[in-house]
């Protein structure tokens, strides 16, 4: 085997690939050959590095130098300067927001500094398509230990002692789930990996499957041994083609190495896995619905109990855990439950991966210890809000979660605290919102989502979410009444209590939390016909400041409905009757002119409580 002096680790996660990571890799390889460095320098494609905002990313090892937003045209200079002359290229490095000096080393970058990698320990380090690289970082050592040295009861006791709880949303203790399946009826049993990551704004499962598929496979082998399963399924979302391909490849390699199949590692244990592609239904992320989908049926949830651990796939005991939960298992077995339990809080152990997206400077995936204050995630890891805007809220936990306001920024992030705030851990999507995000519009967004994705089995969910969306749409259209707020709360209670599965039971959360923390915004829409964030089209208008307008024709040409009049070097005007409020004129107006502006009705004075109940007509 050749020893290389330098490795170039090119991030090949979905984000970087979309920005041209594969073209970059080819360009690097070509240039390295041209410079005759190909015996000294190796280019490796790794899984998602997490700092997706800065892609494509290349990490140079062993120097630890982090290059970002690389273009193929940067390659000759990078190779010549860094690899040939040993001079790292400052202009290709990361410069923190509001600073001027680049930060050369990855470990010094704020985004990475505060993270604690357990599940993502191999991200950006190994080639996920090579089982040897996984094995070289202690991969499959835990499976070997579990199969050769531990009893099934011992494995379950270790997982239970670690305090690991389900990372898919509800946070059920993993050890207890396994124990129930272990005690279930004799005969065939199954293990299932839930990779149907449907929460909009969450992509940690995709990233784990792409960056370290063997960690999930190893977790499943250990779980199968613990509960006595001989078959398992990885159900992966259809929208994630790269994850499906990488997992399929991982299974092939594991089989070739005797880590799956008959008599694994000579221990007499038989187990195999297959990939099942999802078909695009949000509800299939619910565990009973997912099992129905594996059986080839429509993804309708069913009544629990019986829980899948008692009666799951084809009526047999089935352990179903989320991708991130499975990926935690090898680390716990290898390093011990005491080590794992030392991370996190009293009731939430270990780490959690969050996807930090929306109005945040450092978009990407972060893994942090449970219990970390929200403020640290948003400001230290996330770098705060870009463009000088103010933080308004963070929506945690997808359509089942809720919006957490600025007042709660010091909230520790764990299962219990989030629940108390009306939100939930969910799968860990964090969508950051600034003052330009309208909370009523966000509530409407999630209720429309829930209404569209409701499978239709329970009328309160099917009709209730649709009705809630209609009420919200009315409010955003400026036609809401004071009574609508009560109506929303009543509908929320009906949907919550009358739905069978978690999707319906939690669907009202985005409305309830925004009503709880941002009631003033609802009231502004209803009573003042005003959208403070300038988002809701019915309540805003566009106008051109005659003093600032230079008459450049840009907005006039861009307007898709010819609503703008005016000649060259004359002040332009917008015809409000023709305007469709698409905002294109605002976007094309040059930054140094800024003549186009959005307006809404002015705020009224404080309302007294008696007037509020009736509402203006």
Partner 1 sequence: MRPSTSELEALTASSSGRPRALIQVLQDVQDRFRWLPPEALEHVAAALHVPLVQVYGVATFYRAFSLAPRGRHLCTVCLGTACHVRGGEAVLEHFERKLGIPAGATTPDGAFTLERVNCLGACALAPLAVVDGRTHSQMSEAKVEAVLAEAAKDGER
**Closest CB to partner 1 among residues 203, 518:** 203
- Please report how close the Cβ of residue 280 comes to partner 1 at its closest, in angstroms: 3
**Closest CB to partner 1 among residues 331, 365:** 365
Burial of 413 (0-12, 13-18, 19+ CB in 10 A): buried
For 540, the 3-state DSSP assignment is: strand
For 40, the 3-state DSSP assignment is: coil
- Please report how close the Cβ of residue 249 comes to partner 1 at its closest, in angstroms: 18
The whole-angstrom distance between residue 447's C-alpha and the CA centroid of its chain comes to 19
**Closest CB to partner 1 among residues 18, 342:** 18
- Please report how close the Cβ of residue 504 comes to partner 1 at its closest, in angstroms: 17
**Closest CB to partner 1 among residues 347, 541:** 541
How far apart are the C-alpha atoms of 403 and 445, rounded to whole Å?
13
Q: What is the DSSP code string of 166-226?
A: -SSSS--BHHHHHHHHHHS-SS--EEEEEE---STT--HHHHHHHH-HHHHHHHHHHHHHH
Radius of gyration of the chain (CA): 27
**Closest CB to partner 1 among residues 234, 332:** 234
Partner residues linked to 481 by β-bridges = none
If you search the block for the tokens 């690289």, which residue do you land on? 133
431 phi/psi in degrees, rounded to 5: -105, 115
E-strand ranges in 13-57 read: 41-46
**Closest CB to partner 1 among residues 158, 197:** 197
The whole-angstrom distance between residue 433's C-alpha and the CA centroid of its chain comes to 15
Token digits for 239? 């929208």
The answer for residues whose C-beta is within 8 angstroms of residue 595's C-beta and 6 or more apart is 544, 545, 548, 549, 550, 572, 589
- Please report how close the Cβ of residue 570 comes to partner 1 at its closest, in angstroms: 24
- Please report how close the Cβ of residue 345 comes to partner 1 at its closest, in angstroms: 27
Does the N-terminal peptide bond of residue 137 adopt cis geometry, omega within 30 degrees of 0? no
C-beta of residue 525 within 8 angstroms of C-beta of residue 480: yes
**Closest CB to partner 1 among residues 162, 355:** 355
Q: In 283-316, which positions are buried (b, 16+ CB within 10 angstroms) versus exposed (e)?
A: bbbbbbbbbbbbeeeebbbbeeeebbbbbbbeeb
For 365, the 3-state DSSP assignment is: strand
- Please report how close the Cβ of residue 15 comes to partner 1 at its closest, in angstroms: 5
Q: How far is CA 261 from CA 258, 272, 405, 486, 599, in A?
A: 7, 5, 50, 58, 65
54 phi/psi in degrees, rounded to 5: -105, 15
Token digits for 615? 């509402």
The answer for residues whose C-beta is within 8 angstroms of residue 266's C-beta and 6 or more apart is none
**Closest CB to partner 1 among residues 203, 527:** 203
- Please report how close the Cβ of residue 271 comes to partner 1 at its closest, in angstroms: 19
- Please report how close the Cβ of residue 173 comes to partner 1 at its closest, in angstroms: 28
**Closest CB to partner 1 among residues 150, 533:** 533
**Closest CB to partner 1 among residues 363, 514:** 363
C-beta of residue 280 within 8 angstroms of C-beta of residue 290: no
**Closest CB to partner 1 among residues 17, 254:** 17
C-beta of residue 357 within 8 angstroms of C-beta of residue 85: no
**Closest CB to partner 1 among residues 226, 431:** 431
Tally of helices (H runs) and strands (E runs) in the chain: 25, 18
- Please report how close the Cβ of residue 507 comes to partner 1 at its closest, in angstroms: 14
- Please report how close the Cβ of residue 202 comes to partner 1 at its closest, in angstroms: 7
320 phi/psi in degrees, rounded to 5: -120, 120
How far apart are the C-alpha atoms of 156 and 151, rounded to whole Å?
9
Residues contributing to the site for partner 1 (CB under 8 A)? 14-15, 17-19, 52-53, 55, 197-203, 206, 237-240, 276-282, 293-299, 355, 357-359, 363-364, 395, 398, 429, 431, 433, 437, 442, 445-446, 449, 452-453, 455, 558, 560, 582-584, 587-588
- Please report how close the Cβ of residue 582 comes to partner 1 at its closest, in angstroms: 6
**Closest CB to partner 1 among residues 11, 142:** 11
| Size of the chain, expressed as the number of residues it contains | 617
- Please report how close the Cβ of residue 198 comes to partner 1 at its closest, in angstroms: 7
Q: Count the Cβ atoms, other than its own, within 10 Å of residue 244.
A: 21
Partner residues linked to 43 by β-bridges = 8
**Closest CB to partner 1 among residues 274, 520:** 274
- Please report how close the Cβ of residue 364 comes to partner 1 at its closest, in angstroms: 6
> 304: closest CA among 293, 296, 312?
312
- Please report how close the Cβ of residue 453 comes to partner 1 at its closest, in angstroms: 7
245 phi/psi in degrees, rounded to 5: -65, -45
Q: How far is CA 565 from CA 242, 370, 600, in A?
A: 49, 57, 22
- Please report how close the Cβ of residue 20 comes to partner 1 at its closest, in angstroms: 10
**Closest CB to partner 1 among residues 268, 560:** 560
């Amino acid at each position: 085997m050749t020893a290389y002096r330098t490795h170039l680790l090119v991030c090949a996660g979905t984000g970087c690939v979309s920005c041209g990571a594969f073209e970059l890799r080819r360009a690097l390889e070509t240039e390295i050959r041209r410079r005759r460095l190909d015996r000294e320098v190796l280019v490796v494609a790794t899984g998602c590095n997490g700092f997706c905002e800065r892609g494509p990313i290349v990490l140079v090892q062993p120097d630890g130098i982090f290059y970002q937003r690389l273009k193929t045209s940067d390659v000759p200079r990078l190779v010549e300067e860094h690899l040939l002359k040993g001079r790292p290229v400052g202009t290709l490095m990361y410069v923190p927001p509001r600073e001027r000096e680049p930060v050369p080393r990855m470990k010094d970058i704020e985004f990475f500094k505060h993270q604690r990698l357990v599940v993502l320990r191999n991200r950006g380090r190994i080639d996920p398509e090579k089982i040897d690289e996984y094995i070289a970082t202690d991969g499959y050592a835990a499976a070997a230990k579990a199969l050769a040295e531990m009893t099934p009861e011992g494995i379950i006791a270790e997982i239970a002692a670690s305090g690991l709880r389900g990372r898919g949303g509800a946070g059920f203790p993993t050890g207890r789930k396994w124990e129930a399946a272990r005690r279930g009826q004799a005969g065939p049993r199954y293990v299932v990996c839930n990779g149907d990551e449907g929460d909009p704004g969450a992509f940690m499962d995709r990233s784990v499957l792409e960056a370290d598929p063997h960690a999930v496979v190893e977790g499943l082998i250990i779980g199968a041994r613990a509960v006595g399963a001989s078959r398992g399924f990885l159900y992966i979302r259809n929208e994630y083609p790269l994850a499906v391909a990488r997992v399929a490849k991982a299974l092939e390699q594991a089989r070739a190495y005797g880590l799956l199949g008959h008599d694994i590692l000579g221990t007499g244990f038989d187990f195999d896995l297959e990939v099942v592609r999802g078909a695009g239904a949000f509800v299939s992320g619910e565990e009973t619905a997912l099992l129905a989908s594996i059986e080839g049926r429509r993804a309708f949830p069913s009544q629990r109990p019986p829980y899948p651990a008692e009666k799951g796939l084809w009526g047999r005991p089935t352990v179903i855990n989320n991708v991130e939960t499975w990926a935690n298992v090898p680390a716990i077995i290898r390093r011990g439950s005491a080590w794992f339990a030392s991370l996190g809080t009293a009731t939430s152990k270990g780490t959690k991966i969050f996807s930090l997206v929306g109005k945040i400077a450092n978009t990407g995936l972060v893994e942090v210890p449970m219990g970390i204050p929200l403020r640290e995630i948003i400001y230290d890891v996330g770098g705060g809000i870009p463009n000088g805007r103010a933080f308004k809220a963070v929506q945690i936990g997808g359509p089942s979660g809720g919006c957490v306001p600025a007042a709660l920024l010091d909230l520790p992030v764990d299962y219990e605290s989030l629940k108390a705030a009306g939100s939930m851990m969910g799968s860990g999507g964090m969508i950051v919102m600034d003052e330009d995000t309208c909370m009523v519009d966000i509530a409407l967004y999630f209720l429309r989502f829930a209404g569209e994705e409701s499978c239709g089995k329970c009328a309160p969910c099917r009709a209730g979410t649709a009705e809630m969306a209609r009420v919200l749409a009315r409010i955003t259209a400026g036609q809401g009444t004071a009574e609508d707020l009560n109506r929303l709360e009543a509908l929320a209670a009906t949907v919550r209590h009358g739905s069978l599965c978690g999707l319906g039971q939690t669907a009202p959360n985005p409305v309830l939390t925004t009503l709880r923390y941002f009631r003033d915004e609802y009231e502004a829409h209803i009573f003042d016909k005003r959208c403070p964030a300038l988002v809701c089209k019915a309540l805003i208008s566009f106008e051109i400041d005659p003093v600032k307008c230079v008459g450049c024709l840009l907005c006039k040409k861009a307007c898709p409905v010819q609503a703008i009049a005016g000649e060259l070097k004359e002040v332009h005007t917008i015809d409000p009757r023709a305007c469709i409020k698409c905002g294109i004129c605002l976007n094309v107006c040059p930054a140094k002119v800024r003549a186009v502006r959005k307006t809404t009705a002015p705020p009224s004075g404080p309302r007294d409580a008696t007037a509020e109940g009736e509402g203006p007509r």
